[in-house]
Amino acid sequence: MRRCAEYTVCALLALSAQGCFLTSKKPDDQSGMLALLALAGGAASLSATCSSYTGSAPSGTALADVVTSAPANTGSGFTDSRCATNGVRGGGDNQGSTDVFSLSATGTGAVMVLSFNNQKITNGTGADFLVFENPFNYNGSASTRFMEPLVVEVSYDGLSWCGFNPSYSSGTYSTNPANWTRFAGTNNVLYNQDTNSLSSAALFSSGGGDSFDLANLVTGTSAGANCLSVASNSGCAAGNVATLQGTGASQGVRYVRLIAASACTNPNAGSAVFPQDSGAFGGGPDVDGVIGRYPASLP
């Protein structure tokens, strides 16, 4: 069970954000979570499975609605990979969402790959896609944020991957998102397709989530370009970048790979991986969804 659910329980029980974060314990499974929510009159929010919800995205955008790979998937509760493709339902600044798929913190379950059904995302003006994880503020401050960052990579063929050179500027774990650059999972998710519907322009300007511009892809074979500690590949060649940034028939982004930062080597810290918040209780990031801008049909 992820911290998104933990925080929601605490909110429903009228505990302060600080007290919840510091003292509460997570239920071991979704049944325990439902029992707590029932006490607070909120069981309905988790009574349906993720497959019961229909995903959508604003006109002119495309939801990554296909799970290509998700080793952590069990098909149940917060390890049901469909939670990452059934639409984005963010919880806002101060609580997490329960409509998320939880990755593992390390190992094969720390990665998932999403794709766009019969579509691709092309390079346009500004950000080209958004990744929605599940961070939230606690102690009432945006600089003390619960985060489980993700390394993001993209591909056209599902074989060659390119990344955005994520950079972490603190030694020990920092709750300040300013120290995490070009990661996903650092910005709160304000967009909710059910309760906070937005236009395409509003989504990319004020819907939250973490934005990625294909113009910022980097070449290289180090962990700064690709998370080689989890998924072995030959790195990102210049030709791959040209393919991903192009708008031709066999160009653009078809696949988005999301990897728990805690499973990836930090190139600025020798062989050490990116740090993880001790409050994560051993789990990994919670994926709410990916929405792309400038979609185009596959050839």
Q: What is the mean pLDDT of residues 125-141?
A: 94
- Is the full-model pTM beyond 0.75? yes
Query: Which comes out higher in pLDDT, residue 228 or 83?
Result: 83
Token representation of residue 96: 């997490």
- The answer, yes or no, to whether residue 77 has pLDDT greater than 80, is yes
More confident residue, 242 or 43: 242
Lowest mean pLDDT among 29-33, 51-55, 244-248: 29-33
What are 258-273's pLDDT values in tens digits? 999 999 988 878 778 9
* Per-residue pLDDT tens digits for 244-258: 999 999 999 999 999
Domain ranges across the chain: 49-297
- Is the pLDDT at 16 greater than 60, yes or no? no
What percent of the chain is modeled with pLDDT above 70?
83
Q: Which of 25-39, 42-56, 209-223 has the highest mean pLDDT?
A: 209-223
Q: What is the pLDDT of residue 232?
A: 66
- pLDDT tier for residue 48 given thresholds of 50, 70 and 90: low
Better pLDDT: 140 or 263? 263
pLDDT of residue 86: 97
pLDDT number for residue 282: 65
> Which string of DSSP letters, residue by residue, matches the chain?
--HHHHHHHHHHTT--HHHHHHH----SSHHHHHHHHHHTT-GGGGTS-GGGSPP---TTEEE--EEEE-TT--SSGGG-GGGGTS--B---SSS--SS-EEEESSSGGGEEEEE-TTEEE---SS--EEEE---EEETTEEEEEE---EEEEEESSSSS-EE---EE--SS--S-GGGEES-BS-S-B--BTTTB---HHHHHHHSBSEEE-GGG-B-BSSTTTS-TTTS----B-HHHHHHHH--STT-SB-EEEEEEGGGSB-TTSTTPBPP--GGGTTEEEEE-EEEEESEEE--
Q: What is the pLDDT of residue 149?
A: 97
30 vs 48, higher pLDDT: 48
Per-residue pLDDT band at 171 (split at 50, 70, 90) = confident
- Mean pLDDT score of the chain: 84
Q: What is the mean predicted confidence (pLDDT) over 86-98?
A: 95
Look at residue 111 and tell me whether its pLDDT is greater than 70: yes
Q: Mean pLDDT across the stretch 223-239? A: 83
Higher pLDDT, residue 133 or 47? 133
User: Could you report the per-residue pLDDT of 274-284, keeping only the tens digit for each?
Assistant: 999 987 766 89
pLDDT tens digits for range 181-204: 999 999 999 999 999 999 999 999
Find the mean pLDDT for residues 103-128: 97
